[in-house]
Structure 1
Amino acid sequence: MINIGFYYTVKKGHEREFEEKFWDVVSTNVKGMTSAKLYRNVMNPQEYMIYTEWESLEAFRDFMKSEGYRETVDYGKSILEGVPSHKILQPLEETEVKA
């Protein structure tokens, strides 16, 4: 399993629209995505992070190549400021911890 953080800054006045689009995308049952959470920066309500869990890196890469993702990116250009960033977080191998 891997985790991906998507970081966005939304143009003022488009926050609700961004939130609704997030729910539209995650409710489509994206193949390989096991969980998605939307976070909003309390200090700057135009900044968001979408935190997702994926079955594998390959599942995430397939999503990034999908038509649905391309459509969302094209749409996002009208409501986002700057270029979004993404961070791939992979867990370290589990090791036994002795107390």
Structure 2
Amino acid sequence: MVTVGMNYVVLPGKQGEFEEKFAAVLGALDAADGHTSSTLWRDVVNDASYLITSEWNDEDAFKAFITSDAFRSVTSWGKAEILAGRPSHKVYKH
């Protein structure tokens, strides 16, 4: 099993839109092979900063998801409309 932490900073005023989109993306995550669960966290100091933690059976399952058309369409929209910068992620193996 691996946990993936994905860090995002959104444009000012776009927090609600980002949270709504995450709720929609959760359906795609739940349908992805190897995905166990995901949670959206918001920074209490900087409310434009978010962390999504996702549990996966293995790193290959996560890599398959982030190279999928579903993920690509969401990230293209996010880059153009919501995000203040490039997101980053880290894989934690356990």
3-state SS of 1:27 partner: helix
2:86 counterpart of 1:86: no
Deviation of 1:26 (Å): 1.0
Q: Which residue of 2 aligns with 1:38?
A: 40
- Report what 2:10 is aligned to: 10
Q: Deviations over 1:3-55 (max 9, x none)?
A: 00000000011101101111101123222210000000000000000000001
Q: How many residues align?
A: 91
| Cα distance in 2, alignment partners of residues 9 and 27 from structure 1 | 22
Which runs of no fewer than 5 residues in structure 2 stay unpaired?
none
Amino acid at match of 2:58: S
Q: Secondary structure at the match of 1:74?
A: helix
C-alpha distance in 2 between matches for 1:30 and 1:10:
25
- The equivalent residue for 2:23 is 23
Instruction: Report which of the two has the higher share of helix.
Output: 2
Runs of 4+ in 1 over 6 A off after TM superposition: none
The amino acid across from 1:18 in the alignment is F
The aligned amino acid for 1:23 is: A
Q: Unpaired segments of 5 or more residues in structure 1?
A: 92-99
Q: Match of 2:40, SS? A: strand
The whole-number CA distance in structure 1 between the counterparts of 2:58 and 2:2 is: 6
Pairwise CA RMSD: 0.8
